[in-house]
Amino acid sequence: MPPVSFLLAITHHASVRLAEAAFVLLLFAGVWLAAADRFGQRRTRSTVAGVLIALSGLLLIVASHFGSFG
């Protein structure tokens, strides 16, 4: 049985795409937080923004650990 890290290898191009997706999610989360403050739906929008930030962090970890980004 091959090692697990071998099965999770990501190409350089795929890791760059994952990182780009993570940065776009960070951008949406920032806009979402600004809209939450502006339109008064703080709790729901803050929760969604927090999930987006956590997901983008996870994508950046995967891109830098398993791919050749960074």
Q: Where are the alpha helices (DSSP H) in the chain?
A: 4-7, 12-39, 42-66
Confidence at 4, pLDDT banded by 50, 70, 90: low
Range in 6-10, 34-38, 57-61, 62-66 with the lowest mean pLDDT = 6-10
Predicted confidence at residue 1, as pLDDT, reads 46
CB count, 10 Å around CB of 18?
22
**Residue pLDDT, tens place only, 14-57:** 888 888 888 998 998 888 888 887 877 778 888 888 888 999 98
